[in-house]
Amino acid sequence: MIGVYDSGYGGLTVLRELQKELPDVDFVFLGDSGRAPYGGRDAHAILDLAESCVERLFEEGCRLVVVACHTVSCVGLRHLQQHYSNDNRRILGVTIPAAEAAVARHPRAVAWLGTTRTVHSRTYEVEIHKLDPALPVHGIAAPLLAPLVEEGLGNGTDAEGAQLTRLAVRRYLRHLPAETDCLVLGCTHYPLLSEAFQAELAPHIHLLDPAPVVARALSDWLRRHPEFQETGTGSLRVLCSGDPQVFQRQGSRFLGRELPTVQHISEESGRLAHRSGPQVPQGQVVREFRKF
Ligand code: DGL
């Protein structure tokens, strides 16, 4: 069973590609939607959130966890690997496959778009320069885009929503250096804005969605690590820390099909536990004091 982790719904665009590439593998997806967005948060806050999510996935029985979230991959992947990886457990991210795919196109200049924290980390720049130190790389923070997608705007039939997203995309693309011919979508949500990107980008600029690349990289990794290969039935379980009904409804836009029943996990004293009782409590919540 492979765990896939994202701050919210966006990672379902990655899961969709993983399931296409590995149809017999069983997956558990954890979307931390109750605590998203991560993109504007402090790096240490992101590490705290990420620790509780990967621990939950290991407790679910996963031996391998894919961090689909670009923000977490850019800021906290090394920390998570150093803390949790051993002969029996591994954690993989999205930044290295995405950087390799960008460099493999031999572009004149690469730009990548992501959350504020992703861009400030400069991790993409570091990974790309390990492969080609002379390649110009430019990061653009686009904090409005993920929330627009979460609101259901972007690709689709809502004309006003499409106009709004095109305006936001246009505003960020203004910062593209002139020589750019490859734009990396460095956020799990952006594939849902592909129509706005295609409309606003010059035709010679290649739009690189890392999700299919990550799927091929995972399949290649599994071939090289047969001890982590497990044959399953292609099953899927979905856990989220937000409202599970909303997650189920919204998530289908990202996964491209209906989601199975979403289970609620809730944060209690830094841990993500399964919830019984009302999924989303209303009114005041009183609980036992753990520490003071
Ligand atoms: N999943 C995040 C990423 O790929 C975007 C949403 C967020 O800010 O939490 O960077």
Instruction: Give the whole-angstrom CA distance, residue 178 versus residue 182.
Output: 11
Ranking 21-25, 72-76, 89-93, 281-285 by mean pLDDT, the lowest is: 281-285
In terms of domains, do 188 and 230 share one? no
Which run of H or of E encompasses 114? strand 110-114
State the distance between the two ends of the chain, measured CA to CA, in whole angstroms: 38
Whether residue 239 contacts residue 265, with contact meaning beta carbons closer than 8 Å, is answered with: yes
Q: Is residue 285 part of a domain?
A: no
Centroid of ligand 1 to alpha carbon of 16 (angstroms): 17
Q: Is residue 7 part of a domain?
A: yes
pLDDT for 122 equals 96
Q: What is the pLDDT of residues 216-255, one digit of tens each?
A: 999 999 999 999 998 899 999 999 999 999 999 989 989 9
Centroid of ligand 1 to alpha carbon of 287 (angstroms): 31
Residue 11 confidence (pLDDT) above 70: yes
pLDDT for 287 equals 72
H and E: helices and strands count for the chain: 11, 11
Q: What is the pLDDT of residues 188-213, one digit of tens each?
A: 999 999 889 999 999 999 999 999 99
Q: What is the mean pLDDT of residues 270-288?
A: 71
Which of the listed residues 12, 144, 188 should we mutate to test ligand 1's pocket, taking the one with most ligand atoms within 8 A of CB? 188
Q: Could you confirm whether 62 is annotated as catalytic?
A: no
In terms of domains, do 69 and 136 share one? no
Residue 292 confidence (pLDDT) above 90: no
Q: Could you confirm whether 187 is annotated as catalytic?
A: yes
Question: What separation in angstroms does the CA of 270 have from each of 52, 194, 198, 287?
Answer: 7, 36, 41, 15
Residue 114 confidence (pLDDT) above 80: yes
Q: What is the mean pLDDT of residues 94-105?
A: 97
Q: Give 272's pLDDT tier (boundaries 50, 70, 90).
A: confident
User: If phi over 0 gives left and psi between -120 and 50 gives alpha, with beta otherwise, what is residue 121?
Assistant: alpha
Q: Is residue 289 part of a domain?
A: no
- The residue from 210, 231, 249 where one domain ends is 210
| DSSP code string of 206-230 | EEE-HHHHHHHHHHHHHHH-GGG--
pLDDT for 282 equals 72
For the Cβ of 210 lying below 6 angstroms from any atom of ligand 1, the answer is: no
Whether residue 139 contacts residue 71, with contact meaning beta carbons closer than 8 Å, is answered with: no
For the Cβ of 39 lying below 6 angstroms from any atom of ligand 1, the answer is: yes
In terms of domains, do 206 and 258 share one? no
Q: Is residue 114 part of a domain?
A: yes
pLDDT for 276 equals 64
Q: What is the pLDDT of residues 115-131, one digit of tens each?
A: 999 999 999 999 999 99
Q: Is residue 191 part of a domain?
A: yes
For the Cβ of 250 lying below 6 angstroms from any atom of ligand 1, the answer is: no
Of 53, 69, 74, 240, which is the active-site residue?
69
Instruction: Give the whole-angstrom CA distance, residue 29 versus residue 191.
Output: 18
Atom of ligand 1 nearest to the CA of 72: 10
pLDDT for 278 equals 53
Atom of ligand 1 nearest to the CA of 146: 6
Q: Give 14's pLDDT tier (boundaries 50, 70, 90).
A: very high
pLDDT for 270 equals 73
Residue nearest to atom 6 of ligand 1 (CA): 37
Residue 26 confidence (pLDDT) above 70: yes
For the Cβ of 73 lying below 6 angstroms from any atom of ligand 1, the answer is: no
Atom of ligand 1 nearest to the CA of 115: 10
Instruction: Give the whole-angstrom CA distance, residue 206 versus residue 176.
Output: 13
Q: Give 279's pLDDT tier (boundaries 50, 70, 90).
A: low
Structural domain that includes position 42: 2-93+213-275
Instruction: Give the whole-angstrom CA distance, residue 203 versus residue 283.
Output: 52
Residue 275 confidence (pLDDT) above 90: no
Domain of 191, CATH number, reads 3.40.50.1860
Instruction: Give the number of domains in the chain.
Output: 2
% of the chain at pLDDT higher than 70 = 95
Q: What is the pLDDT of residues 48-71, one digit of tens each?
A: 999 999 999 999 999 999 999 999
Q: What is the mean pLDDT of residues 84-112?
A: 97
- The residue from 174, 189, 210 where one domain ends is 210
Residue 157 confidence (pLDDT) above 90: no
